[in-house]
Amino acid sequence: MMTASLTSIETLPACDNASLQQIIAGATAPLVFKQQCKNWPLVQAGLNSATAAADYLRQFYQGEPVTACLLPAEQHGRIFYNDDCSGFNFQGGKIDFNQFIDRLLTQPEDDNSTLYMGSTEINRWFNGLAADNSISLSNVNPLTSVWIGNQSRIAAHFDFPHNLACNVVGTRTFTLFPPDQIGNLYPGPMEFAPGGQDISMVDFEQPDFQQFPLFSHALEAAQSVTLQPGDMLFIPSMWWHHVKAHTPFNVLISHWWRDTPAYLGRPNNALLLSILSLRSLPKAQRQAWKAIFEHYIFDHDDISQQHIPEQAQGMLSKPLSELQARQLRADLLNKLKR
């Protein structure tokens, strides 16, 4: 797929943290902040050489084995399922980080296999790395992770949290789709996925438009950017994104955070409960429940609750307090046991 023909993501110049937070607070579409991270020590080390970047990373390693995967060359970097979706097309396991890095740096040029270390929490595995190599955000405490590997292709998927993805070493191309394109992206199995999140079954390098005809509509809505070292991409919550790493050694640092407190739970839990109790209903009943969900969940901003006395609104209070959330969760768990 030629991403050059896709709509480019809006690009802004680097700015101070206060301005950055003000911009992304009201953003509902992806944004690129050009060279936002150019002064990070890891970025500068990577501009020197892959070995310099690797040596900089090694000094923060805490000794706990990391999770990595090896993908054979014939998969062309696409981290995906095996042929019948009963497993994956790579071998994964625990490895000492120094051994992983050594193998990356010494891999022969004619060896096209993929080595990939996915999301690895910085403060646990690389304590101290974030001090000079992360974005500080007031009022939120993001989960900061590092991703390292050579050439790879990560299938399109979405994440519930917002993400500030900082391309630190090497180059990466991100192709993004708004949430309403889910039906055109052909999501795969929900029970398990290579990264734990539902992924698109379409091979973006060689899309089969006979098998996935609606993917052409997704491409019409797609936005794309190739990030250089020091560039940062804001990915709004729920936006689908496909990630292609181009270089023999690349590093990404991501920052995930949510707009609502953790005590409100994960929306995916509601989806799973809906699959359990609603998906198999006759269509007429599903449509009735759709109207109820729209009233109470999706369109409540424009619906007044003034006809109910404030002290009687209970779970309809907006937003729920932590006590109300705990009571609702306890009631739900009790009902699920019946």
pLDDT value at residue 304: 78
pLDDT value at residue 2: 46
Angle, CA 66 vertex, CA 65 and CA 69 arms, to 5°: 130
DSSP E strand stretches across 2-113: 7-8, 11-13, 31-34, 66-71, 78-79, 91-95
Q: Report whether 224 contacts 9 (CB < 8 A).
A: yes
Q: Where in the chain is the domain with CATH 2.60.120.10?
A: 3-259
The CATH superfamily assigned to 3-259 is Jelly Rolls (2.60.120.10)
> Can you give the pLDDT of all 338 residues of the chain as single tens digits?
544 468 899 999 999 999 999 999 989 999 999 999 999 999 999 999 999 999 999 999 999 999 999 999 999 999 999 999 999 999 999 999 999 999 999 999 899 999 999 999 999 999 999 999 999 988 888 999 999 999 999 999 999 999 999 999 999 999 999 999 999 999 999 999 998 889 999 999 999 999 999 999 999 999 999 999 999 999 999 999 999 999 999 999 999 999 998 899 999 999 999 999 999 999 999 999 999 999 999 988 877 788 888 888 888 888 888 988 898 888 888 888 76
Q: Could you tell me the CA-to-CA distances from 47 to 118, 164, 171, 250, 296 in Å, in that order?
A: 22, 21, 11, 11, 52
Q: Kindly give the pairing relationship between strand 162-169 and strand 78-79.
A: unpaired
Two structure tokens written together for 42: 């890891």
CA terminus-to-terminus distance, the chain: 51
Place of tokens 């050439």: 151
116 strand-pairing partners: 69, 149
Place of tokens 């839990």: 269
Two structure tokens written together for 128: 């101290």
Q: Report whether 88 contacts 82 (CB < 8 A).
A: yes
